């Protein structure tokens, strides 16, 4: 392979969050020089730029939550705070020259495929052409607002956690928070000591695992500086621990799940002495069915005398506060909406059409699916990073993006060398792949009797049901026979049986 026989494609990456930064680096390393990254905001960072609420932190150990090629010796905590993570991504973006590739404040409004090329229109009125488009738009970036009668009638300060209003002082105020998921648990733990009265409106209790945080000293940081092999060992140690506790427990069940269940139930029992309160905090579904919350401070916060757990459903809002179904008015000065995101929007509301004018809404009219999470039949040379059935359950999304990024680069390489006229998975390959996924869901915790953002509109988990090791192995090399007009003679290995794998 040489420059005379290898095409140099033009690539547009949508989004300059964690995945977009990674792609900017890896595309350049692969010798692809025509790369444009379009970012809707004014700086890189994605999730960690958007979420600035009190207590925001990663629930994955910090030394595992780094790019494999660039550890970070400066983490201040085992579970890195949001501003630390944002600083890390900004540093990496500058160091590897990604910042200069990004066009900021320029969202993609339309993206259409015709005559073998992609044509994009941006919010700045600019038009771009590209051979490949990679949507690195993230999973949780479209805030979901609750459908509650009278929401617009509330006269106090009200905002979503992903749109935190830092001009609002909650010191001594009557504060309400709707939701008890991962974000809410972090916010509650942080603001319980400053709010005058804090009312938690809980629809569904959550299982919580206590993992103590750790503050890294200057001497510990100094030992890691300039020592990438030591940071590699630390990252792999945490990764091994997560894989063999959380990941295996929720995907495979067995003794690991029993041990995990015992730990979280014991934590609840030992932390909350009041049996009535403990009963209201006890979920009625399988441990791991929803994303497991990692917190060593939530139960302490919820038992403070100024914190009230309200389990009556919300009937409506009015000017002065929240009215629950028992008719009680909870008077509030501030209402915080910790109500999550729309997880299946992915690149939408961007207008996206593929071959023969097929729109993404038509392609996903019945079910949001992809081939190996990244390829969409009918959308040649288009990749969706962290798409449906990426193994996002309590694992590092950086590691996931690195595996998917390598896979995408190998597919682009096949196109560059003329082995594929375009990169488009066949509809039959996607059908077989999703049947294979469905076959493995029965023994996972995600079918354990709860409603969560892990489940699609049909109640099917949109995660990877097998082991992390198996996913990495299956993503190691593309199977060209699964792509439209693959070269003849390419093998088409059957998807492995779970037991055999």
d(C-alpha 231, C-alpha 372), whole Å = 30
Instruction: Give residue 258's domain range.
Output: 151-215+220-337
Task: Answer yes or no: is pLDDT of 192 > 60.
Answer: yes
Q: What is the CATH number of the domain that holds 80?
A: 3.50.50.60
Q: pLDDT value at position 77? A: 95
d(C-alpha 446, C-alpha 463), whole Å = 9
Place of tokens 């990877």: 464
Task: Answer yes or no: is pLDDT of 394 > 90.
Answer: no
Q: How many CA atoms lie within 13 A of 57 on its CB side?
A: 24
pLDDT tens digits, one per residue of 310-338: 999 999 999 999 999 999 999 999 999 99
159 and 270 fall within a common domain: yes
Q: Select from 280, 315, 337 the last residue of a domain.
A: 337
329 and 376 fall within a common domain: no
Q: Select from 397, 424, 451 the last residue of a domain.
A: 424
d(C-alpha 180, C-alpha 309), whole Å = 10
**How deeply is 95 buried, as exposed, middle or buried, from its count of CB atoms within 10 A (0-12, 13-18, 19+)?**
exposed
d(C-alpha 84, C-alpha 80), whole Å = 6
pLDDT tens digits, one per residue of 253-308: 789 899 999 999 999 999 999 999 999 999 999 998 888 899 999 999 999 999 99
Q: With bands split at pLDDT 50, 70 and 90, how would you rate the model's confidence at 13? A: very high
pLDDT tens digits, one per residue of 398-440: 999 999 999 999 999 999 999 999 999 999 999 999 999 999 8
Task: Answer yes or no: is pLDDT of 459 > 80.
Answer: no
Say if 483 falls within a structural domain.
no
134 and 226 fall within a common domain: no
79 and 188 fall within a common domain: no
Say if 451 falls within a structural domain.
no
333 and 349 fall within a common domain: no
Q: pLDDT value at position 5? A: 56
33 and 160 fall within a common domain: no
Q: pLDDT value at position 393? A: 66
Percentage of the chain beyond pLDDT 90 is 79
Say if 393 falls within a structural domain.
yes
Say if 468 falls within a structural domain.
no
Q: pLDDT value at position 3? A: 44
310 and 409 fall within a common domain: no
Task: Answer yes or no: is pLDDT of 453 > 80.
Answer: no
Q: Select from 304, 337, 370 the last residue of a domain.
A: 337
pLDDT tens digits, one per residue of 121-159: 999 999 999 999 999 998 877 889 999 999 999 999 999
Q: With bands split at pLDDT 50, 70 and 90, how would you rate the model's confidence at 457? A: confident
178: β partners: 201, 337
236 and 173 fall within a common domain: yes
Say if 270 falls within a structural domain.
yes
Task: Answer yes or no: is pLDDT of 479 > 90.
Answer: yes
Q: pLDDT value at position 495? A: 52
Q: pLDDT value at position 21? A: 98
Question: 5-19, 260-274, 386-400: lowest mean pLDDT where?
Answer: 386-400
359 and 328 fall within a common domain: no
Q: pLDDT value at position 488? A: 43
204 and 164 fall within a common domain: yes
299 and 370 fall within a common domain: no
DSSP string spanning 284-320?
A: SS-TTSSPPEE-SSHHHHHTSTTEEEE-SPEEEEETT
> Based on the structure, what is the number of domains in the chain?
2
Say if 439 falls within a structural domain.
no
Task: Answer yes or no: is pLDDT of 344 > 80.
Answer: no
Phi-psi category of residue 77: left, alpha or beta, with phi > 0 → left and psi -120 to 50 → alpha: beta
Q: With bands split at pLDDT 50, 70 and 90, how would you rate the model's confidence at 476? A: very high
Task: Answer yes or no: is pLDDT of 27 > 70.
Answer: yes
d(C-alpha 171, C-alpha 317), whole Å = 23
Say if 477 falls within a structural domain.
no
Task: Answer yes or no: is pLDDT of 452 > 90.
Answer: no
| C-beta of residue 387 within 8 angstroms of C-beta of residue 338 | no
Say if 133 falls within a structural domain.
yes
pLDDT tens digits, one per residue of 77-114: 999 999 999 999 999 999 999 999 999 999 999 999 99
d(C-alpha 50, C-alpha 44), whole Å = 10
66 and 177 fall within a common domain: no
């Amino acid at each position: 392979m040489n420059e005379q026989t290898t095409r140099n494609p033009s690539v547009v990456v949508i989004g300059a969050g964690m995945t977009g930064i990674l792609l900017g680096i890896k595309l350049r390393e692969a010798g692809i020089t025509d790369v444009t990254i379009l970012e809707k905001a004014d700086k890189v960072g994605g999730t960690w730029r958007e979420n600035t609420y009190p207590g925001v932190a990663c629930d994955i150990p910090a030394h595992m939550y780094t790019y494999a090629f660039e550890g970070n010796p400066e983490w201040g905590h085992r579970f890195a705070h949001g501003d630390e993570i944002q600083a890390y991504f900004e540093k990496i973006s500058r160091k590897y020259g990604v910042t200069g590739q990004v066009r900021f404040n320029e969202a993609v409004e339309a993206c259409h495929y015709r005559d073998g090329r992609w044509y994009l229109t941006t919010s700045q009125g600019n038009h771009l052409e590209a051979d490949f488009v990679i949507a690195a738009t993230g999973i949780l970036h479209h805030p979901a607002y609750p459908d509650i009668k009278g929401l617009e009638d509330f006269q106090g300060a009200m905002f979503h956690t992903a749109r935190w209003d830092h001009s609002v002082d909650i010191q001594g105020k009557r504060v309400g928070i709707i939701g008890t998921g991962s974000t809410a648990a972090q916010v509650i733990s942080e603001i319980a000591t400053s709010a005058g009265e804090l009312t938690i409106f809980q629809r569904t209790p959550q299982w919580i695992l206590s993992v103590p945080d750790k503050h890294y000293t200057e001497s510990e940081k100094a030992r890691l500086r300039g020592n990438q092999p030591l940071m590699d060992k630390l990252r792999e140690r945490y990764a091994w621990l997560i894989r063999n506790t959380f990941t295996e427990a929720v995907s495979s069940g067995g003794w690991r799940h029993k041990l995990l269940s015992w730990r979280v139930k014991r934590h609840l029992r030992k932390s909350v002495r009041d049996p009535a309160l403990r009963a209201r905090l006890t979920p009625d579904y399988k441990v791991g069915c929803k994303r497991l919350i990692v917190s060593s401070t939530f139960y302490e916060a919820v038992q403070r005398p100024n914190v009230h757990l309200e389990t009556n459903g919300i009937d409506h809002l009015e000017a002065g506060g929240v009215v629950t179904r028992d008719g009680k008015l909870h008077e509030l000065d501030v209402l915080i909406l910790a109500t999550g995101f729309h997880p299946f929007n992915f690149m939408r509301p961007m207008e996206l059409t593929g071959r023969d004018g097929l729109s993404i809404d038509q392609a996903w009219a019945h079910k949001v699916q992809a081939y190996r999470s990244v390829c969409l039949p009918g959308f040649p040379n288009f990749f969706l990073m962290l798409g449906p059935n990426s193994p996002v359950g309590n694992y590092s999304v950086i590691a996931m993006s690195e595996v998917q990024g390598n896979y995408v680069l190998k597919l682009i390489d096949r196109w560059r060398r003329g082995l594929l006229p375009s990169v488009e998975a066949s509809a039959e390959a996607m059908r077989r792949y999703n049947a294979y996924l469905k076959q493995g869901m029965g023994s996972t915790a995600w079918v354990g009797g709860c409603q969560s953002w892990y489940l699609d509109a049909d109640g099917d988990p949109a995660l990877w049901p097998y082991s992390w090791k198996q996913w990495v192995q299956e993503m190691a090399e593309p199977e060209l026979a699964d792509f439209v007009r693959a070269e003849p003679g390419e093998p088409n290995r059957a998807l492995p049986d779970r037991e055999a794998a």
